[in-house]
Structure formats: C-alpha cells, structure tokens
Amino acid sequence: MLRNMIVATTAAIIFPLPTFAAEFTFPPGSSVTGRSVTQLSTEWWQWAMSIPQETSPLRDSTGANCGTAQQGAVWFLAGGFGSSKIRRTCVVPANKPLFFPVVNMLYYPAKGNDTYTCGEAKAAAALNNESAIDLFVELNGVALQDVKRYRVASDKCFDIFERIQPEQRPYKAYPSASDGYWILLKPLQRGRYTLKFGGRYNRESSAYGHMVQDIEYELIAQ
C-alpha cells in the first residue's frame, strides 16, 4: 500500500526577520538532539500514524490539532494525505526545531503480506520522487534554494504502527519505508511567521504519480 504526504505552513509577520536565504533551515544531512533527519522521518511517520483520524493533524483543515501527540525536542508539522491544498494556523514552541515533509511517499505492507523485503519496500517508497517538480519552501517570503538537495530516504525499514499501544496496534507493518523531501527548520524566535511549501509529482503512475501539495501555515511561535 502506498501513501504520501506533504506539509507547509503560512503566517503573518509580527516583527521583521533578519535577511536570510537558506539559513532558516539546517543543512541537508544534519542531526539534532542526536537524531539524523532520516531517523526523524521515521519518527514523524510513526507519530502521524499513531493518532486517531478524528484528531489527526494530517486530516485537520484549520490547525486546531497541530499540537496533538507532540513530544520531544523536535516539533512535527503535518501536511495532508494525497493531493492537498490546506491553510492552517498553528501555535508552536519558540526555540524548538520544526520538521516536516515537503512531499514524500510511504510504503507499508497490507495486513498479512509477509512477502516484501526491506529492499522492495524502499524501492516502492522511492516511486515518484525522481519526478518531483516545482518543489518550494518559503519562510516569510524568502525561498529556500534547491529543495531537491533535501531528499531523505529510509536507511532502515521500520514498523509504521510502532508508536501505537500494543493492544491497539492494527498489525505489525514491517517493512515500512519512506522517501521524499524533508525540511528541518531552525528554531523560531517568538512571533508570527508565514511558512509555505509543496510541489508535485510528474510520473505516469496510479500510485500518486500526479499528486500535488500546496500547504500553508500561520505559525505563532511562543
């Protein structure tokens, strides 16, 4: 089964930010709190899939659920399943990194499918990402250059449902793998920000080959 997601955010400015280019993100391949962006991408998916649909930040059209199940030193921002155009407002902690996918694919096996290998899961998750176009990330109108440098693929497979309590876990979904474009935003000072990002796939495929993401958040850092 293939799933994919994307995240973006938008906000009005309370005070002018310093002039910057790509300095509002950590460089590709960075680590924070001892965790690489690859590890964070696994944790992000496990976070996203651990939340019931009725309170899921990914299915939220306003941002009211953006704080659901947040824990640890990095704050996760949600996008939407499949093609999505979403505008949200989200209160986030100041001085904490923010992590989100611009566009990405997830593969995890259907219940009872024990035939897939980790290598096959990674290959399935990689579908469409070579064809990604029109990728963009903007913070307060300043564009991040060359978003394709931020591609991240699972180096190890995982169980997408691992964060769910064992008695509520649907099944063991190993091997799961993801592949896509992930951003680790540097901590924000207190204030309001506009963060936008998205992109689209351009591949002839029934598996989200023409998915489009256009997501915007008003971020209120406090």
pLDDT one-digit tens code per residue, 130-182: 888 899 999 999 999 999 999 999 999 999 999 999 999 999 999 999 999 99
**Do 195 and 11 meet the contact criterion of CB atoms below 8 Å apart?**
yes
Percent of the chain at pLDDT > 90 equals: 68
Q: What is the pTM of this model?
A: 0.86
Which pLDDT score, from 0 to 100, does residue 120 have? Answer: 94
Chain-centre distance for alpha carbon 125: 14
The DSSP secondary-structure symbol of 155 reads S
Q: Which residues of the chain have pLDDT under 70?
A: 1-22, 205-209
Which pLDDT score, from 0 to 100, does residue 206 have? Answer: 60
Instruction: Tell whether omega for the bond before 52 is within 30 degrees of 0, i.e. cis.
Output: no
Which pLDDT score, from 0 to 100, does residue 221 have? Answer: 97
Provide CB contacts within 8 A for 119, sequence distance 6+.
none
